Amino acid sequence: MPIPDFNINGLLPPFLGETPAGDSHDMSPYPGTVFDVLDAISFSERRKSILRGWLLHRKALRAIGFVRGFQWIDGSFVERDREPNDIDTLTFLRRPDCARSLPELRLLWNQNLRVLGRPQVKATFHVDSFSLDLDGDAEILVDMTRYYFGLFSHRREDLVWKGMLQVTLDSARSDDQCLQLLGTDPALPYAAPGGGT
């Protein structure tokens, strides 16, 4: 299913059709591929630069073992009439084999703040990154998902409802192809993908 067109407010619609009680595929967040994202919302050079950072951040996540999961994409990046400064993501992550326990996950996280720390990711990749642990406590996961959905499902200025996108994380080949389509941008100081602080 393609990403829906922007509505009269310049936003992705929160649902398709006359009522939100339809099929779950007709509700936000709308599933799509990285190609769908490029096709739908890369309509300025600034957006293309931010998408390069997003794709490089996804590559960096996979390089440290986070190869399974999905992302919700939101913020001004999914608004037609605003030129964004970054792309907002909520990444639902499956723990890598090297970090199955909570202490192992904390250690991996602290060793890779360049890829996992919100301020570092925003500065390096132009991604305002939030993460949720799909292998953690179920009640915490549900509560935090509820919180972020409530936070992201409205435009900040006037609280108008809006939609989000959902993209799987295990699409390394497609991500690389999209990076090739976007080309390089020497003006952006993105570090090489991988671990480290």
CA pair distance 97, 158, nearest whole angstrom: 43
- pTM for the full predicted model: 0.90
Are 121 and 133 in contact by the 8 Å Cβ rule? The answer is no
Are 127 and 89 in contact by the 8 Å Cβ rule? The answer is yes
Q: Which pLDDT score is estimated for 197?
A: 35
DSSP assignment of 83-152: --SSEEEEEEEPPPGGG-SHHHHHHHHHHTHHHH-HHHHHHHHSEEEEEEETTS-HHHHHHHHHHHHHHH
| Of 78, 2, 8, 75, the residue nearest 42 (C-alpha) | 78
Using CA atoms, how far residue 133 sits from 16, 74, 93, 105, 120, in Å, is 29, 19, 5, 10, 19
Q: Which pLDDT score is estimated for 157?
A: 87
Q: Which pLDDT score is estimated for 128?
A: 97
Q: Which pLDDT score is estimated for 196?
A: 38
Domain extent listing, the chain: 24-182
Q: Which pLDDT score is estimated for 191?
A: 42
Q: What are phi and psi of 159, to 5 degrees?
A: 60, 25
pLDDT (tens digit, 0 to 9) for every residue of the chain, 197 residues total? 679 999 999 999 999 988 888 888 889 999 999 999 999 999 999 999 999 999 999 999 999 999 999 999 999 999 999 899 999 999 999 999 999 999 999 999 999 999 999 999 999 999 999 999 999 999 999 999 999 999 999 998 899 999 999 999 999 999 999 999 998 765 554 444 443 33
